[in-house]
Structure 1
Amino acid sequence: MSAYPPLSALRSFEAVARLGSVTLAAAELHVTHSAVSQQVRQLEELLGVTLLQREGRGLRLSEEGRLYALQVRRALRDIAEATRLARARPGESELVIAVLPSFGQQWLLPRLPDFRQRYPQYRLRLLASLEVIDLRQGLADVAIRIGQGHWEGLAQQRLFDDQLVAVCAPQFSGGDLPRSAEAILRCPLIHGFESWLPWCQAAGVPLPAGEAAFTVNDSNLAIEALRLGQGVAVERLSLVAGALARGELVQLGDIRAAYAHPYWLVWPQRESTQAKVAAFAEWLEEQVADYLAGMAD
């Protein structure tokens, strides 16, 4: 006998064991009642073990069936996860970029049409997440991260150092905008992903003691609240540069505080992805150079 029973029989048995009914299992698997019953009987014959005990018109798992069902359920879960990962891994003509949602939306996304025009042979897929994706699993070709570098097993390319600025909408407070650091801190403050501490230190003023107008854990939400005129916030310049250029936001004062964590492009060193990763790394380096030149003007 093969060491591997038919997958269809295992799925039928697991469904019956979990649902306690052949009828419900058949409905879930979109097969007939008799097909499920036959699969379970075949499995019992292959194993030489009684898995289900018939009690009147009902079914009850034997002790052997209960233990086997737990192991089969775990194995089917592993197969499903392995299948998901295999499907999620990028193909040769697909470039998958893992990126923070805020940086992806505010900085990278507006620039991607240029990459697509220059490299039409690659289909782009963005994986936006606040969690660090393990590139060694092969779910993404490259990632743009914030940190101090030194990620084990990854090639790394430093992109740029960011700055923190105080910003608000031009219509905030009826257009009567604060100018001094002290006046800025008396406004309704939006506490987002970034701390006010570096900006306050650069301005030479203490942190405000009062509570924030409100707090959000995502820079995209903070920026949208700013656009709606709901307060003042400190944000990374890279995330608000576009909104500043379009006049949707304005910088309050001229204080720019250094942001502690640089941006990096990182990728696993796999021969099969070298061409597309090299193309993206070169293109991104050009985009960063243009961005930094614009910020220096």
Structure 2
Amino acid sequence: MRLHSPSMSELHAFMTAARLGSFTQAADVLCVTQGAISRAISRLEAHFGQPLMQRNAHGLKLTETGRKLFEGAQAPLQAIEALSAGLRTDERRLRLTLSTVPTLASAWLVPQLPDFYQRHPDIRLSFAAYRRNEDFSGDTPDASILSGTPDQWPGWQADYVIGREMVVICHPGRLAARQAQGMWNTPHGLLGEPLLYHTNGMDNWAQWFTGAGVPRDSVALANGFDQVSILIRAVMADMGIAVLQRCLVRDELQSGRVAAPFPELPVRIARGYHLCAPAQRRDHHALTCFREWLLETASRDPDVVAATLSP
């Protein structure tokens, strides 16, 4: 079947120029050059085999054919625009762009994601670059998993996920040697060790000792690292001991690459990982689905369960 209708780009160029009475203004609205508008309308006139508008010193004047086209195409074009906008909105509601602390993503979140995709096969999840001081000033991300306390993000939706449960880790050989020497019978014995730390959590050791009931005047820290993965490698190299969120080192503990001197000691700090989003995105469908899944998944984590059951 032969199609008699023109292309949409040429029709939009004509309708916009006719409505505004100017090629220049039409070019600005459609984000093209004035020459592109002129060429599009020339192709449209060639398609119909007659002129559609005339240019003069006072602007543009539609011919009789141009007037018929303008009046007849307005309603259909508006309907197509409304439909297109709705379809784009439907597609957008099924996309979620997330940023997250890289170590948490690799150690805890990503291994859980197959369950999310199984529950929500229609949602497309993508990851944006992580910014420690995310302020949602750009187009992305829609939400971010950040480390901190809820009072850091007033006005945002901030849900605690995981990460308050801390554990001390060390080289397995160091643990065996200290236990043989009878030096680590209580947490107080750790004060004499090189205390490695993450530069974004310099107070973690102080909070851990306080939670463990260790009397102290101050904590003398050793070497600092700005990446958790490097901090873990330093412990594996027996450079010292570290205190980290248990969810980040579960694989290393289970494999025996690091050891925990006091694995059952329940010490929790105020800081944790929170799913954060600005208020205007609370009704985003994909984010709502991800939030519900994430909080449900975290609630089943052994550390979170233990924290819930402890007095």
TM score, norm. by length of structure 2: 0.57
On the 8 A contact 1:170/1:250 being kept in 2, the answer is yes
1:159 and 1:139 map into 2 onto residues whose CA distance is 21
Structure 1 residue 274 corresponds to structure 2 residue 284: yes
1:166 aligned residue (162, 165, 168): 168
Secondary structure of the residue aligned to 2:168 is: strand
1:207 and 1:112 map into 2 onto residues whose CA distance is 44
How far apart are 1:198 and its partner, in Å? 1.2
Structure 1 residue 283 corresponds to structure 2 residue 302: no
1:95 and 1:257 map into 2 onto residues whose CA distance is 34
Partner of 2:216: 206
1:91 and 1:139 map into 2 onto residues whose CA distance is 13
Q: Which structure has the greater CA radius of gyration?
A: 2
Partner of 1:65: none
Partner of 2:240: 231
Percent identical residues: 22
Structure 1 residues 241 and 208: CA distance shift in structure 2, 3 A = farther
2:105 and 2:275 map into 1 onto residues whose CA distance is 13
Structure 1 residues 136 and 269: CA distance shift in structure 2, 3 A = farther
Show CA shifts across 1:2-43 (max 9, x none).
6999999xxxxxxxxxxxxxxxxxxxxxxxxxxxxxxxxxxx
| Alignment coverage as a number of residue pairs | 215
Structure 1 residues 128 and 172: CA distance shift in structure 2, 3 A = farther
How far apart are 1:139 and its partner, in Å? 0.6
Secondary structure of the residue aligned to 2:270 is: coil
Secondary structure of the residue aligned to 1:266 is: strand
Secondary structure of the residue aligned to 1:288 is: helix
Partner of 1:259: 269
Paired amino acid for 1:148 = T
Paired amino acid for 1:268 = P
Show CA shifts across 1:79-135 (max 9, x none).
xxxxxxxxxxx9544321121223223222222222223223233222353522222
On the 8 A contact 2:172/2:259 being kept in 1, the answer is yes
Structure 1 residues 103 and 272: CA distance shift in structure 2, 3 A = closer
Q: CA RMSD in A?
A: 3.5
How far apart are 1:277 and its partner, in Å? 0.8
Partner of 2:128: 127
Secondary structure of the residue aligned to 1:134 is: coil
Partner of 1:106: 107
Paired amino acid for 1:228 = A
On the 8 A contact 1:199/1:256 being kept in 2, the answer is no
Partner of 2:189: 183
1:220 and 1:91 map into 2 onto residues whose CA distance is 34
On the 8 A contact 1:92/1:273 being kept in 2, the answer is no
* Unaligned 5+ runs, structure 1: 9-89
TM alignment of 1:1-297, pairs within 5 A: 91-150=92-151, 151-160=153-162, 162-172=164-174, 176-177=178-179, 179=184, 180-193=186-199, 194=201, 195=203, 196-202=205-211, 203-206=213-216, 212=222, 214-253=223-262, 254-270=264-280, 274-291=284-301, 292-293=304-305
How far apart are 1:199 and its partner, in Å? 1.8
On the 8 A contact 1:164/1:236 being kept in 2, the answer is yes
On the 8 A contact 1:236/1:259 being kept in 2, the answer is no
Secondary structure of the residue aligned to 1:129 is: coil
Paired amino acid for 2:161 = L
Structure 1 residues 250 and 155: CA distance shift in structure 2, 3 A = same
On the 8 A contact 1:225/1:231 being kept in 2, the answer is yes
1:272 and 1:215 map into 2 onto residues whose CA distance is 37
1:237 and 1:272 map into 2 onto residues whose CA distance is 30
2:306 and 2:221 map into 1 onto residues whose CA distance is 36
2:141 and 2:206 map into 1 onto residues whose CA distance is 34
1:185 and 1:198 map into 2 onto residues whose CA distance is 13
* Unaligned 5+ runs, structure 2: 1-22, 34-90
How far apart are 1:174 and its partner, in Å? 6.4
TM score, norm. by length of structure 1: 0.59
Structure 1 residues 124 and 259: CA distance shift in structure 2, 3 A = same
Paired amino acid for 2:196 = I
How far apart are 1:210 and its partner, in Å? 5.3
